[in-house]
Amino acid sequence: MKIDPIHQFNIEPLFTIGHIGNHTIAFTNSTLYMFLSVAVISLLMIGGMAGRQLVPGRLQSIAEISYEFVASTIRSTAGAEGMKFFPLIFSLFMFICISNLIGIIPYTFTVSSHIIVTAALAFLVFFTVLIYGLYKNGFKFFKIFVPSGVPIYILPLVMFIEILSFFLRPVSHSVRLFANMLAGHIALKVFAGFIAMLGVSLGAIGWVGGVLPLALTVALTALELLVAFLQAYVFAILTCIYLNDAIHPGH
Amino acid sequence: MAEKSHGTPAKGTGAHTEADGGHGGGFPPFESNTFASQLVSLFIAFVALYVIVSRFALPRVESVIDARQNAIESDLAAAQKLKDESDAALKAYETELASARARAQAIGNETREKLNAAAEAERKALEDQLAAKLTAAEKQIAATRETAMSNVRGIAADAAGAIVQRLTGVLPDGKTVSKAVDASLKG
C-alpha cells in the first residue's frame, strides 16, 4: 500500500471555462470548494438570521457570535475607525475559517493549502493597507517606518528594518496560513496511512497495532480543528493590526 | 479598489514558483499552470462573498442585534420604573405604619393615665371611708369603756358598803363610800 500524502492537494480541472492569454481557466475542485465555502457562509449568515428572533436559535447564535467576534477583534486592535473594514475582515475570516473547516472532512479539498490563494489574500490586505494608508494620511503614512523616540544614530538601521518588515508582511502573512494547512493535512494523511500500512504488512498484529496511529489521527484531527479556526483568527487579527497602521500611522 | 490588486502580486508569486516548479515537479501547490484558474476562482468567490457579506449578511445581523439591544434597554427602563414605583409604595407603607404605631402608642398612654387616675381616686375614697369607719369604731370603744368604768364604780361602791357592814355591822353612809371609792380609783 502506497501512501501519497501530497495527492490530496492536486488541482483537478472539472471543466474548462475559457482562456486568458495563454492561460487556461478551468473550473477545478478548488473552485468548487471556494464556492461551497461562500455558499455555506451565505447560508449561515443569511439563512441563520432569517428568523430575526429576539432569543436566537442555534444557527442564529453562530451567525451573531461570528459577527460579534470579528467586530470585537477589530475594535480592540484597530479601534472604532477600523469598523470601515468590517466587511473585508469578516469576509476574510469567514472564508478562511469555513474553507479550512470543510477541508478537515475526509476526501475534501483545502482551499488555503495552496500558496497562490493565501498569497492573493495576503496581497489583497497588503495593497488595501498601502492604498488606504496613502489616501488617508498622504506622506504622513511613511511615519510608520520612523518609530518615535529612537536615537538619531540608529534611526537609519531601524528604518531599514521597518521597511523590510513592512514589505515582507504579505510573505509571512500568506506562508503562515499556507504552511500550517499544508503541514497539518500532510501529517494527518501520513498517520492515517500508517494504519493501513501496518495492517497490510503485518496482518492481524498490524491491525491491532494500528490502534496507535488511529488514536494519533483522532488527536491530530482535533488539533487540526483548532488550527483551522486559529489560523483564520491569526489571519484576521494580523489584517487588523496592519490596517491599524494605515488608520493610525506613527507608533 | 482592493480587488484590483490581485493581478500584480499574482504575477510576482507566479514567477517565483515557476522557478521552484522547474526542479520540484509534482508538488501541487507550486504547479504554476493551476494558478490562473485558482486566482480567477478566488476572485469570483471572494467578490461574491464580499458583496453578500457587506450588502446582506452584516446589515441583517446588525439590525437584529440592535433590535435586541433596544428591547433589552426598554425592558430595563420599564423594570427600573416599576422598581421605583414599588420603592415609593414601600416607603409610603412604612411611613403609614410608623404614624399608626405612634398613634397607637399615644392612645395607649392616654388610656393608661386615665385608668390610673380613676384607680387612684377610688383608692382615696375607699381610704377615706375606712378612716371614717375607724374613727367611729374608736369613738364607740371609748363610750363603751366609759360606761363599763361607771358600772365598775357602782359595783365597787356596793361591794365596799357590803364589806363595811359585814365588818362593822353598821351600814356606812352612801356618800362617804362613793367618795372613798373615787379616791381609791384615782389613786
pLDDT tier at A86, thresholds 50, 70, 90: very high
Separation CA A231–CA A223 (nearest Å): 12
**ipTM at complex level:** 0.89
The chain-wide mean pLDDT, for chain A, equals 89
Rounded to the nearest angstrom, the minimum Cα separation between A103 and chain B is 15
pLDDT at A251: 55
pLDDT at position A250:
67
pLDDT at B44: 93
Alpha-carbon distance of A192 to A7, in angstroms, equals 14
Q: What is the pLDDT of residues A121-132, one digit of tens each?
A: 999 999 999 999
Helices (H), chain A: 29-42, 58-78, 86-104, 115-137, 155-202, 204-209, 211-247
A35 to chain B: closest CA residue? B45
Cα Rg, chain A, nearest whole Å:
22
Give the total residue count for chain B: 187
Q: Do B41 and A87 touch (CB under 8 A)?
A: no
CB pairs under 8 A between A and B: 171
Q: What is the pLDDT of residues B102-130, one digit of tens each?
A: 999 999 999 999 999 999 999 999 999 99
- Residues on chain B touching A121 (C-beta within 8 angstroms): 42, 46
Looking at residues A68-76, what average pLDDT do you find? 93
Q: Do B50 and A88 touch (CB under 8 A)?
A: yes
pLDDT tens digits, one per residue of B83-106: 999 999 999 999 999 999 999 999
Identify the pLDDT of residue B17: 38
Output the CA–CA distances (angstroms, integers) from residue B185 to A25, B107, B147, in the order listed. 169, 69, 15
Q: Which residues of B touch A52 (CB under 8 A)?
A: 60, 63-64, 67
Q: What are A55's three cell numbers?
A: 432569543
Q: B23-75: per-residue pLDDT in tens?
A: 345 788 888 888 888 999 999 999 999 999 999 999 999 999 899 999 999 99
Nearest to B50 among A6, A46, A91 (CB): A91
Nearest by CB: A28 against B29, B37, B57: B37
What mean pLDDT is predicted for residues B144-151?
87
Mean pLDDT of A158-182: 92
Kindly list the residues from chain A whose CB atom is less than 8 angstroms away from the CB atom of residue B39: 116, 120
Q: Residue A174 is inside which H or E element, if any?
A: helix A155-202
Residue B12: pLDDT over 60: no
**Element holding B147 (H helix, E strand):** helix B58-168
Least confident among A80-89, A156-165, A195-204, B121-130: A195-204
Question: Quick check: A163 and A144 in contact, CB under 8 A?
Answer: no
**DSSP code of B137?**
H
Average pLDDT over residues B121-143: 95
Facing residue for A25 by CB, picked from B10, B36, B62? B36
Express as a percent the part of chain B with pLDDT over 90. Answer: 52
Q: What is the dihedral of CA B114, B115, B121, B123, to 10 degrees?
A: -160
Of B14, B36, B38, the CB nearest to A117: B38
Task: Give the Cα separation of B64 and A243 in Å (integer).
Answer: 28
Range with the poorest average pLDDT among A104-113, B34-43, B168-177:
B168-177
Q: Which residues contact A142 (CB under 8 A, 6 or more apart)?
A: A249
- Chain A's closest residue to B48, CA to CA, is A38
Are residues A120 and B4 in contact, defined by beta-carbon separation less than 8 angstroms?
no
**Angstroms from B82 CA to nearest CA on chain A:** 23
Task: Give the N- to C-terminal CA distance of chain A in Å, as an integer.
Answer: 57
What b-and-e string marks burial along B145-171, b requiring 16 or more CB atoms within 10 Å of the CB? eeeeeeeeeeebbeebbeebeeeeeee
Half-sphere exposure for A168 (CA within 13 Å, toward CB): 8
Q: What pLDDT is attached to residue A49?
A: 85
Contact indicator for A29, A224 with CB cutoff of 8 Å? no
pLDDT recorded at residue B187? 65
How many C-beta atoms lie closer than 10 Å to residue B75's C-beta?
10
pLDDT for the residue B10: 38
- Least CB-CB distance to B38: which of A17, A94, A116? A116
Residue B15 confidence (pLDDT) above 60: no
A53 φ, ψ (degrees, to nearest 5): -80, 150
